[in-house]
Amino acid sequence: MRSGYISEKGDVYSFGVLLLVFLTGQEALIRYEEGGKYQSIIPYVKSHACDGQIETIVDPEVLREAKGDKHTQQYLHDFLALALLCTSDSSEARPDMIDVAKELV
């Protein structure tokens, strides 16, 4: 949350970060240099997702469970798409929380 305002769309963003944490098994802030610098999980996931490398970002434990199951693999892609939509830079592009809940059911 860069704006400092509390809003439903801000909650959706935070929830999207939580979804990415669940999907990747990573923390919300990822250490990317030995010097102790951290980066949000969002650019990390976006850079790999845009390259079609979902297998490199999904928690290996989750991948083992999904291996060979096309329905589960599709669910992972849908889950990632929802998480990325929730973490859109533009608050207007983010879904309402009720719509997020419907997608997850």
Is this model's pTM higher than 0.75 or not? yes
CB contact at 8 A, 96 and 12? yes
DSSP letter, residue 38: E
Encode the chain (105 residues) as per-residue pLDDT tens digits.
455 678 999 999 999 999 999 999 998 988 776 677 888 899 989 988 877 778 889 999 988 888 878 898 899 999 999 999 999 999 999 999 999 999 999
* Of 1, 23, 28, 4, residue with least CA distance to 12: 1
CA 40 vs CA 65, 90, 101, 103: distances in Å: 26, 17, 24, 24
- Cα–Cα distance for residue pair 22/45, rounded to 1 Å: 12
pLDDT given for residue 3 in this prediction: 59
